[in-house]
Chains A and B, each alone.
Chain A
Amino acid sequence: MDSSNSGATPEIIGKALYRTMVRIRAFENAAEAASQGGVSAYGQQAAGSAKVRGPLHLSTGQEAVPAGVCAHLRVSDYLTSTHRGHGHTLAKGADLVRMMCELFGKATGFNGGKGGSMHIADFSVGMLGANGVVAAGLPIAVGAAHAQKVLKKNGDITVCFFGDGAINRGPFLEALNWARVYDLPVLFVCEDNRWSATTASGPMTAGEGASARAASMDIAATQVDGNDVFSVHETAGRLVREVRDGGGPRLLHALTYRVKGHVSVDLAAYRDPAELAAALETDPIARARGHLLSHGVSAATLDAIENAARDEVDTALAIADAAPWPDASAAFSDVQTIGAGQWH
Chain B
Amino acid sequence: MALNKDLSYSEAAVLAVQREMEADARVVVLGEDVGRGGIFGQYKGLQQAFGAERVIDTPISEAAIMGAGVGMALAGLRPVVEMRVVDFALCGMDELVNQAAKNRFMFGGQGRVPLVARLPGGIWDASAAQHSQSLEAWFAHLPGVVVVSPSTPQDNYSLLRAALQCGDPVVYIEHKTLWGLRGDVDEDMAVPLGKARRVREGNAITIVSWSKQVQACAAACDALAAEGIEADLIDLRTLWPWDRETVLASCARTQRLLVVHEAVQVAGFGAEIAASAAEATGCRVARLGAPRIPVGYAPVLEAQSRVGAEAVVAAAKKLMG
Query: Which A residues have a C-beta under 8 Å from some C-beta of B?
Result: 78, 80, 109-115, 119, 121-124, 128-129, 131-133, 136, 138-151, 158, 170-171, 174-175, 177-178, 181-182, 333-339, 343
Residue of A nearest to B75 (CB): A147
Among B87-115, those with CB < 8 Å from A are 94-95, 98-99, 103-111
Interface size class of B (residues with CB under 8 A): 35 or more
Most buried by B among A110, A148, A334, A336: A336
Complex A-B, nearest 9 residue pairs according to Cβ-Cβ distance, in ascending order: A143-B71, A139-B67, A339-B241, A111-B108, A143-B68, A147-B75, A174-B64, A112-B108, A174-B61
Q: Which residues of B (39-95) have their CB < 8 Å from a CB of A?
A: 53-54, 56, 58-59, 61, 63-64, 66-77, 79, 94-95
Given the known A-B contacts A114-B108, A139-B66, are A147 and B61 also in contact in the complex, defined by CB atoms under 8 Å? no
Extra contacts, 18 of them, besides A80-B71, A133-B94, A150-B72 (Cβ < 8 A), are A111-B110, A121-B111, A124-B110, A128-B71, A136-B94, A139-B66, A140-B67, A142-B67, A143-B67, A149-B53, A171-B63, A174-B61, A174-B64, A175-B64, A178-B58, A334-B105, A335-B104, A343-B244
- How distant is A208 from chain B, measured CB to nearest CB, in Å? 23
Listed stretches B127-135, B139-147, B209-217, B290-298; interface member = B139-147
At the interface, yes or no: B232 with Cβ under 8 Å from chain A?
A: no
In the complex, are the beta carbons of B68 and A336 less than 8 A apart? no
Give bound CA distance, A21 to B168, whole Å: 37
Option from B67, B75, B144 in Cβ contact (under 8 Å) with A336:
B144
A338→B193 contact, CB < 8 A: yes
Q: A140-B70, A335-B143 are known contacts. Are A115 and B77 too (CB-CB below 8 A)? A: no
Task: Select one of B58, B67, B77, B240 contacting A151, CB under 8 A.
Answer: B77
A148 engages B75 (CB within 8 Å): yes
Chain A nearest Cβ from B93, distance in angstroms: 11
In the complex, number of A-B residue pairs with CB atoms less than 8 Å apart: 160
What's the Cα separation between A335 and B193 when bound, in Å?
16
Residue B180 is within 8 A (CB to CB) of chain A in the complex: no
Chain A residues lying within 8 Å of B107, measured Cβ to Cβ, are: 110-111, 114-115, 119, 121, 123, 129
* Contact (Cβ within 8 A) B68 A140: yes
Task: Kindly state whether residue B37 has any CB partner on chain A within 8 Å.
Answer: no
Complex contacts, B94 vs chain A, CB 8 Å: 133, 136, 171
Contact, CB under 8 Å: B64 / A139: yes
| Cβ 8 A contact of B168, one of A115, A144, A181, A336 | A336
Inter-chain contact B241/A151, CB cutoff 8 Å: no
- Would you call A334 and B109 a contact (CB within 8 A)? yes
Q: Which residues of A contact B66 (CB under 8 A)?
A: 139
**Max count, chain A CB within 10 A of own CB: residue among B58, B64, B77:** B64
Given contacts A114-B108, A119-B106, A139-B64, contact A146 B71 (CB under 8 A): yes
Residues of the B chain whose Cβ atoms lie less than 8 Å from the Cβ of A171: 63-64, 67, 94-95
Query: Which residues of chain B from 179 to 204 have any CB-CB distance to chain A below 8 Å in the complex?
Result: 193-194
> Within the complex, what minimum Cβ distance (angstroms) separates B22 from chain A?
16
Task: Kindly state whether residue B166 has any CB partner on chain A within 8 Å.
Answer: yes
Query: Is B28 an interface residue, CB under 8 A from the partner?
Result: yes
A150–B77 alpha-carbon span in the complex (Å)? 9
Residues of B within 8 A of A136 (CB): 67, 94-95, 98-99
A-B contact pairs, 9 of them (CB 8 A): A110-B107, A112-B109, A121-B107, A133-B94, A140-B70, A150-B54, A335-B104, A335-B144, A337-B166
Which single residue of chain A is at the shortest CB-CB distance from B240?
A339
Q: A136-B95, A136-B98, A336-B145 are in contact. Are A151 and B76 (CB under 8 A)?
A: yes
CB distance from B43 to the nearest CB of A (A): 17
Cβ of B106 and Cβ of A115 under 8 Å apart?
A: yes
A residues in contact with B69, CB < 8 Å: 143
B167 at the interface (CB under 8 A from A): yes
- Of B53, B70, B105, B145, most A-chain CB atoms within 10 Å: B105
Contact A339 B105, CB 8 Å, known A111-B110, A129-B111: no
Contact present for B166 and A147 (CB under 8 Å): no
CB neighbours of A181 from chain B (8 A): 59
Q: A133 touches which one: B98, B111, B145 (CB < 8 A)?
A: B98
User: Which among A114, A147, A339 is the interface contact of B76 at CB below 8 angstroms?
Assistant: A147
Given contacts A174-B63, A175-B67, A338-B194, contact A123 B110 (CB under 8 A): yes
Given contacts A114-B105, A128-B111, A151-B77, contact A143 B168 (CB under 8 A): no
Contact with A along B10-39 (1 / 0, CB 8 A): 000000000000000010100000000000
Which chain B residues border A111 with CB–CB below 8 Å? 106-108, 110
Residues from chain A with a CB closer than 8 A to the CB of B76 are: 147, 151
Residues of B within 8 A of A335 (CB): 104-105, 143-144
Docked Cα-Cα span, A145 to B64, in Å, equals 13
